A and B are shown apart, each in its own frame.
Chain A
């Protein structure tokens, strides 16, 4: 027990005892909260028997005094008020209670909230458009002045986003084409149309799946890396340091990533296409007992001259979308490490969304063009 009570006529004497330190604080706090001031006009705190070993303990004595005052009691100390408690009282002289209220959320006003949402959205679209504008401007400018290209930087990003992604892209392409062929074979076998499994795999992989899956993997790998890398540079003020040295951040950070990815993505797509066709061949050979010569012949028959190019042409577009979304989100990081995490997530989600949206638009265009 840290509080000992002696009830006098209308006066409650509280003798403080035991260890008063931050370690025993939770215990003492519950005792202080349980003190009842009923039918008392005055309290006297006697702290002469304890050693107040830290400021948190002193705060509790101060708190006890404040509670008593709030209940309309007069308070006094037996002997002098302890020095540490005096320090706490002096530190807290200015009232702070209503300041906390300033920060409490305002009552919900639907119209204001809607207005905020709309203006925020508009500002958000404008800044996105501004980024695209700036990026295209620099892109055009750097094409006209090859001196400004950053070959070392581009090569680094080509390596990191392209070459290191080859194993995972190949593995996924292989598995997806095996799955497609397997599912297709099960259905087509019912009609005795086993041979069309080859058409399914070839057209599916070359036109859609090769490039789309590559784009999704690249968005997850490189889109997030771009956002996190540039975001961390912003937090370290490295981007400001670049700008202050007269180096344009878009030119030196964003462009090499975009160019690197635009080169890497078509190459990855070609690898995915090849591995996908190999996967189809493996499955047709083992499951449908189709000779490899027949498979190759059927592949040749099933594709139009444009099939491969229709898939490949999408790769640089997807690459640009992923790189732009990643670097844009990275550049938006301002103040905190939490923002970095949030914007990295946004970068990945948006780049995947943009890729699929663009793919849908391509599908419509190619249909209209009869490709």
Chain B
């Protein structure tokens, strides 16, 4: 990780989004640098998922620009966006695995869409990704309905890694997992992030995950984003941030992290 000369990989500038009369983002700025793990934090309904969808190019912002890999997503043609989509991986809140396909077929789907590989290479590469996220080989032949919550999260990660993206978006990767599985997932994520030189953007409410994995954190506050290093954010005097990181649920971290 090279923190001294940050190279931005995502720049969302001056983003505004609204639903009817309700303004969700009001000239919000967000920058993610190459190689970092960036956590997005915010109250329920503060527009975290909308922001993620905007950056992914699934939703057009009412105003502002999104630059990913130094290319302007907001002024791109459909075919170009298709190309950019091959260069990032996403996992969704509930896993969003295709229920009619096995884990293996789920992982192969992005490859079939974007690459022209032999059946053998498809099988082997998909199996490699399945093993990479720590699933046993036999899990590759199971359907999502036959997997536990933790395995679904891992399988979703394997699918997100199918095209070897540099950039990974995770929407609540550890929600619904028991603390041990969540810790396992964090560990896996950190290992993969180092070995595959990934940039990770994640939405999470899991303070454990934030403290274990994130380099920088962006908090959505009053429709704008305040971002800083983890230590910087934890020491931010804003009352909402203080109660988020130092409230009853967070108190036990104070001693551990010296924040």
Contacts and interface: CB of A to CB of B under 8 A. Distances in A.
- Pairing of A with B: yes
B207 interface: no
Given A87-B195, A334-B145, A336-B143, A55 B164 contact: yes
A8 to B, nearest CB: 29
A91 interface: yes
A29 B196 contact: no
A364 B252 CA distance: 79
Nearest to A60: B121
A337 B100 contact: yes
Interface string B145-168: 100000000000000010110000
Interface in A133-157: none
A172 to B, nearest CB: 34
A63 B117 CA distance: 14
Contacts of B18: none
B34 to A, nearest CB: 14
A92 interface: yes
A201 B58 CA distance: 57
B132 interface: yes
B128 A99 contact: no
A77 interface: no
Interface string A86-102: 01100110101001101
A26 B100 contact: no
Contact of A25 (B115, B131, B145, B161): B115
B254 interface: no
B118 interface: yes
Contacts of A338: 99-100
Interface string B116-127: 111001011101
A161 B120 CA distance: 51
A328 to B, nearest CB: 21
Interface in B8-58: none
Nearest to A99: B137
Contacts of B123: 100
Given A22-B164, A26-B117, A59 B143 contact: no
Contacts of B253: none
A253 B124 CA distance: 46
Contacts of B143: 335-336
Given A29-B117, A96-B127, A336-B143, A55 B196 contact: yes
B240 interface: no
A171 to B, nearest CB: 36
A335 B132 CA distance: 26
A338 B196 CA distance: 35
B138 interface: yes
A94 B127 CA distance: 12
B132 to A, nearest CB: 5
8 contacts: A21-B164, A22-B115, A26-B117, A29-B117, A55-B196, A91-B131, A103-B141, A338-B99
Interface of A: 21-22, 25-26, 29, 33, 54-56, 59, 63, 83-84, 87-88, 91-92, 94, 96, 99-100, 102-103, 235, 334-339
Q: Which 5 A-B pairs have the closest CB atoms?
A: A335-B145, A338-B100, A54-B164, A336-B99, A96-B137
Given A22-B164, A336-B143, 7 more contacts: A54-B164, A54-B196, A56-B128, A96-B131, A335-B99, A335-B144, A339-B100
